[in-house]
Amino acid sequence: MRGLTTRTAFAAGAVSVMLILSGCTGGTGDSSGSWESPQLPDELPPVTESTTLPLDAYKLSEGDRTVMQQGNIALLAACAATYGVTVEFSGDYLRPADETRTQWGGRFGAETLDHAALHGYHPAPGGPWAFIGGYYLKDVGNIQVQPTSGGSDAQHLLEQEVIYGTNNSNVQTALANLPDGGCWAFVEDLVKAPLANFVQNESDLYNLALADDRVVAAQAVWSSCMAEEGYTFHAVDEPITSFALTQTSIQEVETAMADVKCTESSGWARIFYAILSAYEQQALDRDPNSFESALTAERKRLDAIAALR
């Protein structure tokens, strides 16, 4: 079974990885692992851009998260500049100038035929975007150093060092007075408002919903529909990820249009989100305080970063 794709945020000195979460059981903090199988209503609501899930209420808005991440990056860049180092960043809420490197980032399964006909799997100008299409969860704490264009390997290592410091006590830093943990640790100490996100909880719940027999069956119907259109895909997130890091093409547009039509006729998105919503509500009922704490932490960090700019 395919799982949820995330861009993993850096810890100090860590290496950026692409993580496929393919577990078929949830690990949402309940060691018993006992979840009640959701009952579906006779009529499932459509999935649109305005579709919300229970855990959405415990996140800041897209706009606030964008402001927070931009502010965080500005503080990191300012710190690096004091050591004479220019650093470039990417982040889940930092839209890149080159949009061929992004994909449509709306609610997966809610893309419209009009959008597919114009943009394929790429975002519309100013529209929702993400670095990875499909089951992708944005993380406001996910900030990554990007090697400066044309820089040498030594320069790229210096950029990493100024942000994350060095974990090797036998290596003498080339940056005088760089604190342990680099600018990352310096900014965290300055902000004094750590995040307490629940991205892992969400990913576990997504995988729990994906493993549901009704979702598996609906995806099989979708796959058969796509085969009738001339495409061989077994999982609903395969088409969008097939066109990553490319210019929009006629092939992409045609594939996306077939995908939208098969998504509607198979009903996989309606079934998946109804089941996911029920699991998210169960998680909330079990431990509402952890989600409320995460929202409070986001608000505190947003305010703290704004006060420092």
Greater confidence (81 vs 14) lies with 81
271 pLDDT more than 50: yes
119-162 pLDDT, tens digit per residue, is 999 999 999 999 999 999 999 999 999 998 889 999 999 999 99
Q: Are 8 and 16 in contact (CB under 8 A)?
A: yes
Mean pLDDT across 39-64: 95
Tokens of 295: 């929202």
Greater confidence (99 vs 61) lies with 61
Give the amino acid at 62.
Answer: E
Residue of 110, 95, 101 lying closest to 244 (CA atoms): 101
The dihedral formed by the CA atoms of 270, 259, 19 and 71, expressed in degrees to the nearest 10: -80
Q: Where exactly are the structural domains of the chain?
A: 4-9+50-308
105-118 pLDDT, tens digit per residue, is 999 999 999 999 99
27 pLDDT more than 60: no
- Cα separation, 253 vs 256, in Å, equals 5
Q: At what angle do helices 250-266 and 268-286 cross, to 10 degrees?
A: 70
Q: Residue 5's beta-bridge partner residues? A: 20, 136
- Cα separation, 162 vs 83, in Å, equals 8
Give the residue carrying structure tokens 């549901």: 212
pLDDT on residue 169 = 53
Mean pLDDT across 240-254: 93
184-209 pLDDT, tens digit per residue, is 999 999 999 999 999 999 999 999 99
Q: Which helix (H) or strand (E) holds 263?
A: helix 250-266
Using DSSP's 3-state secondary structure scheme, residue 10 falls into: coil
40-52 pLDDT, tens digit per residue, is 999 999 999 899 9
Mean pLDDT across 268-276: 98
